[in-house]
């Protein structure tokens, strides 16, 4: 499985889906750039979502709000105080990690704690750190890159994350009182080290400053003027100086929708139930970046905030859970690898009263791709309380603050899920011993390139028809490429199978005589001969098949 995922990542790099950001400078951790094919795939997923939720309905409108968000908005929404993850530092390895995702302690057959260093040299450095700073005089042995901590007893090694136990170590000198370490039910994930700080909340938002004058200079100037009590006031001074210019890179697109609620209602004459869709970048200073584009500091969200009368919130929550899951399955080759999972009470975000995740079975296990949540009237009420905004809807007999059902999908995670879903390796009967060839069986609507037009040879007599066919497809807005390299036609087909191009149109010698061409299908490898003027309609029908089903449902 891991090998298959590595082959997929290699394909993404090799064929222009995904690059490490600033690679020529050694890369920036957690940052990725989308290549010419990646940007198309991402755009096609986004467009499918937008068509489904905005164009195919008459109760949803779009919005595009600013990424830079003032302090007041995110204070009111609860993000300034509550948008936190717990963070723990390992005092031995200096790694930083989230305790809720960290494993329990591992013991060897003698009940001792093995700590695995990356190499022998590091094991020796860590041994000194333990002996000199972290646990002086405890008994330990080093074998290669493994440090073995001799444990006298450990209070319940299966301790649940969040409870506190103790590890008691054997001492070099039996007369010395034993060294005891607090144990919280987890260790540093990479090494099994139990030398950890207490957990502390860590705000996930990126803070920046909207200020033409370097705010740091201003802080220095102000603190210098207050020299006498500098140490006690320094933090307060920094906060005070920076406060007026503090803005955040938004951690979700949703708040931009809530603060514009009244404007949209007024300008578009909307009444609940209705929705506002927004697509855009969000930013989170994640403690742990994982699995390529799965968890990154900068990512894109497709969010729909659907406003309903309070008494309808449960039924619309059910409606959107079903509706969104249907969208995921419609585009999948392997629907069995998608599932819905209801949040338990302690998992739920501070604003939600119900939440169901859509998860995909990635090569490393199930991972969240979308959350559908019942946010109640939390956000609108918070903004009303802080600004006095008029977010109430007045109806004949009553007035109310609408409840919000939210569907929040990660575009980058969707792209990764559909790439994994589409990735097929096929052993070729005639090519025994060669690595299997790759076919990306992407939904044609998602495929970066819709059609590749292939003249059999590069001879000039093929040019005119090749260009006519390509133009007839391009004018429909389909990304179409002309492949006139010297490669054999079969090789050219395979190169397009690898990037998911659903249709290759070949111009051969017969085409020069009767203006017919062949269309080859990526998944069946079957070819159909038809007049070139029919190609546009045939492909339009194939692309519309799924869309029409969506519309008529």
Applying CB under 6 A, the residues found at the interface with ligand GAP are 252, 254, 284, 286, 295-296, 299, 301, 303, 368-371, 406, 408-410, 412-413
Nearer to ligand GAP, 147 or 254 (CB): 254
Q: How far is the CB of 355 from ligand GAP (least distance, A)?
A: 8
Select 142 or 264, whichever has its Cβ closest to ligand GAP.
264
Task: Provide the minimum distance between the beta carbon of 371 and ligand GAP in the complex, in angstroms, as a whole number.
Answer: 4
User: If you search the block for the tokens 């054999």, which residue do you land on?
Assistant: 488
Whole-number minimum distance, CB 40 to ligand GAP, in Å?
20
User: Of the candidates 365, 348, 46, which has an alpha carbon nearest to the alpha carbon of residue 357?
Assistant: 348
C-alpha distances out from residue 276 to 8, 217, 256, 401, 544, Å: 35, 41, 10, 16, 26
Six-digit token string for 187: 């260790």
CB of 352 to ligand GAP, least distance (A): 9
To ligand GAP, the closest distance from the beta carbon of 454 in angstroms equals: 37
Nearer to ligand GAP, 338 or 503 (CB): 338
Note the residue count of the chain: 553
Closer by beta carbon to ligand GAP, 194 or else 280? 280
User: Phi, psi at residue 449, to the nearest 5°?
Assistant: -110, 125
Q: What letter would DSSP give residue 241?
A: H
CB of 47 to ligand GAP, least distance (A): 18
- Looking at the Cβ atoms of 283 and 493, the one nearer to ligand GAP is 283
Please answer whether residues 502 and 456 qualify as being in contact, where contact means their C-beta atoms are separated by less than 8 angstroms. no
- Of 11 and 409, the one with the shorter C-beta distance to ligand GAP is 409
Q: How near is the Cβ of 381 to ligand GAP at its closest, in Å?
A: 17
Contact in structure between 497 and 437 (CB atoms under 8 Å): yes
Crossing angle between the packed helical segments 411-422 and 2-14, to the nearest 10 degrees? 110
- The CB-nearest residue to ligand GAP is 410
* Beta bridge pairs of residue 132: none
409 vs 447, beta carbon nearer ligand GAP: 409
The DSSP code sequence of 324-393 is HHHHHHHT-S-GGGEEEEEPPGGGS-TT-SEEEEEEEEETTEEEEEEEEEEEETHHHHHHHHHH----PE
């Amino acid at each position: 499985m891991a090998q298959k995922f590595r082959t997929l990542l290699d394909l993404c790099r090799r064929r222009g889906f995904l690059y490490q950001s600033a690679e020529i400078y050694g890369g920036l951790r957690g940052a990725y750039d989308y290549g010419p094919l990646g940007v198309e795939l991402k755009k096609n997923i986004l467009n499918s979502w937008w068509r489904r939720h905005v164009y195919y309905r008459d109760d949803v409108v779009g919005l595009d709000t600013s990424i830079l968000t003032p302090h007041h908005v995110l204070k009111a929404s609860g993000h300034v105080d509550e948008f936190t993850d717990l963070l723990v530092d390992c005092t031995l390895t200096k790694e930083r990690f989230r305790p809720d995702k960290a494993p329990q302690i591992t013991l060897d057959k003698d009940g001792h704690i093995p700590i695995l260093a990356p190499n022998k040299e590091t094991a020796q450095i860590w041994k000194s750190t333990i002996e000199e700073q972290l646990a002086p005089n405890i008994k330990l042995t080093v074998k290669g890159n493994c440090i073995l901590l001799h444990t006298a007893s450990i209070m319940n090694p299966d301790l649940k994350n969040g409870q506190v136990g103790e590890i008691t170590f054997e001492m070099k000198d039996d007369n010395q009182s034993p060294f005891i370490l607090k144990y919280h039910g987890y260790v540093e994930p990479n090494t099994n080290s139990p030398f950890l700080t207490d957990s502390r909340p860590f705000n996930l938002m990126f803070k920046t400053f909207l200020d033409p004058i370097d705010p740091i200079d201003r802080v220095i100037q102000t603190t210098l003027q207050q020299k006498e009590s500098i140490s006690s006031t320094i933090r307060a001074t920094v906060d005070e100086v920076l406060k007026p210019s503090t803005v955040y890179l938004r951690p979700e697109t949703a708040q931009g929708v809530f603060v514009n609620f009244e404007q949209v209602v007024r300008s578009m004459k909307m009444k609940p139930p209705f929705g506002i869709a927004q697509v855009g970048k969000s930013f989170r200073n994640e403690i742990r970046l994982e699995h390529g584009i799965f968890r990154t500091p900068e990512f894109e969200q497709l969010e729909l905030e659907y406003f309903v009368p309070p008494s309808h919130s449960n039924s619309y929550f059910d409606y959107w859970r079903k509706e969104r899951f249907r969208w995921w399955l419609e585009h999948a080759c392997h629907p069995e690898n998608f599932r819905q999972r209801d949040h338990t009470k302690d998992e739920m975000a501070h604003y939600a009263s119900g939440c169901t995740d859509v998860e995909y079975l990635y090569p490393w296990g199930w991972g969240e791709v979308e959350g559908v949540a019942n946010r109640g009237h939390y956000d609108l009420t918070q903004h009303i309380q802080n600004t006095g905004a008029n977010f109430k809807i007045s109806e004949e007999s009553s007035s109310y603050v609408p409840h919000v059902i939210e569907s929040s999908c990660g575009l980058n995670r969707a792209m990764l899920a559909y790439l994994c879903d589409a990735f097929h390796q096929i052993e070729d009967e005639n090519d025994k011993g060669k690595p299997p060839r790759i076919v990306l069986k992407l939904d044609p609507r998602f495929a970066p390139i819709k059609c590749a037009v292939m003249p059999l040879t590069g001879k000039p007599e093929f040019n005119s028809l090749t260009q006519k066919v390509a133009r007839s497809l391009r004018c429909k807005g389909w990304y179409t490429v002309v492949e006139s390299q010297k490669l054999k036609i079969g090789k050219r087909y395979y190169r397009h199978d690898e990037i998911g191009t659903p249709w290759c149109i070949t111009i051969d010698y017969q085409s020069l005589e009767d203006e017919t061409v062949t269309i080859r299908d990526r998944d069946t490898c079957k070819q159909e001969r038809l007049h070139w003027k029919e190609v546009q309609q045939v492909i339009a029908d194939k692309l519309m098949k799924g869309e029409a089903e969506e519309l008529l449902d």
